[in-house]
Amino acid sequence: MTEFSFWDILRNLLLAARWTVVLSLVSFIGGGIVGAALLFLRIGGRRGIQLLSRGYIQLFQGTPLLMQLFLAFFGLGLFGIDVPAWLAACVALVLWTAAFLAEIWRGCVESIAKGQWEASASLGMGYLQQMRYVILPQALKVAVPPTVGFSVQVVKGTALTSIIGFVELSKAGSIVTNATFQPFTVYGLVALIYFALCWPLSKSSQLLERKLNVAHRNH
């Protein structure tokens, strides 16, 4: 039987961790773009579109990410569309992230005083101009800490994609365990790598919160 050194285990886990990072980035950036679009529709679209956007957000917030992954992976398969695991993982995570980011950002936009909307409207600005020049520059300050904080959830959320067979950190953990029979060492390392990814994010969220609050002297 082959012996695996500690280094072998760690090396394989780190290689797989790359995919956790890539998947997190794709989800976060893709989710940010889709989430921003949802935000604009949720706040300023026609009534029907607002409801649609709200329904989308509630649907994705109200169902487990795991189910969304299953549906993206197996659901499309039922229609004869062969979806590779990486694609299903990306799509599900992007859509899931978008729903949460849209809702976080909506809260930030709504925290801006109504008078700002009225003043900019009375100066003749349209909805997109109000958002671009008046509301978002202020909302952005409020939004940075919770957004960075949420990115931790995204990183941890990628672990679920192991279930549909995407080989990221968690999946690599179970593969390596099956080969080495050292579950405690392997999963301990897996946890440490996740922590190394997430801790700087939560820490920077805290720091940003403090820093931006100082800049926000009025409140």
Partner 1 sequence: MSLIAITEVKKRFGDNEVLKGISIDIAPGEVVAIIGRSGSGKSTLLRCINGLETIDEGSIVVAGAQFLPDEVHLKALRLKVGMIFQQFNLFPHLTAGGNVMLSQMVVKKVPKKDAEAVARKMLDRVGLAHKFDALPDELSGGQQQRVAIARALAMQPMALLCDEITSALDPELVAEVLAVVKELAAEGMTLVMVTHEMRFARDVCSRVVFMHQGRVHEIGAPEDVFANPRTPELRQFLGVQ
Residues in 131-150 that interact with partner 1 by CB under 8 A = 133-134, 137-138
Taking Cα atoms as reference points, which of 46, 38, 169, 48 lies closest to residue 95? 38
Contact between 116 and 55 (Cβ < 8 Å): no
Q: Which of 7, 48, 80, 218 touches partner 1 (CB under 8 A)?
A: 218
Minimum gap (Å) between residue 212 Cβ and partner 1: 12
> For residues 1 and 113, which CB has a smaller minimum distance to partner 1 in the complex?
113
Tell me the two tokens of residue 73: 């992976």
> For residues 80 and 115, which CB has a smaller minimum distance to partner 1 in the complex?
115
Contact between 96 and 157 (Cβ < 8 Å): yes
Residues in 79-138 that interact with partner 1 by CB under 8 A = 113, 115-116, 118-127, 129, 133-134, 137-138
Minimum gap (Å) between residue 118 Cβ and partner 1: 6
Please name the residues in contact with 148: beta carbons below 8 A apart, sequence gap of 6 or more. Answer: 201, 204, 205, 208
> For residues 2 and 46, which CB has a smaller minimum distance to partner 1 in the complex?
46
Instruction: Classify the phi-psi angles of 4: left when phi > 0, otherwise alpha if psi is within -120 to 50, otherwise beta.
Output: beta
> For residues 119 and 196, which CB has a smaller minimum distance to partner 1 in the complex?
119
Minimum gap (Å) between residue 137 Cβ and partner 1: 5
Judged by CB under 8 A, the number of residues near partner 1 is 20
Exposed/middle/buried for residue 54 (C-beta within 10 Å: 0-12, 13-18, 19+): middle
Minimum gap (Å) between residue 35 Cβ and partner 1: 22
Q: Is 204 in the site for partner 1 (CB under 8 A)?
A: no
Q: Is 16 in the site for partner 1 (CB under 8 A)?
A: no
What is the rounded CA–CA span in Å between residue 74 and residue 92? 12
Please name the residues in contact with 132: beta carbons below 8 A apart, sequence gap of 6 or more. Answer: none
Q: Which residues bind partner 1 (CB under 8 A)?
A: 113, 115-116, 118-127, 129, 133-134, 137-138, 217-218
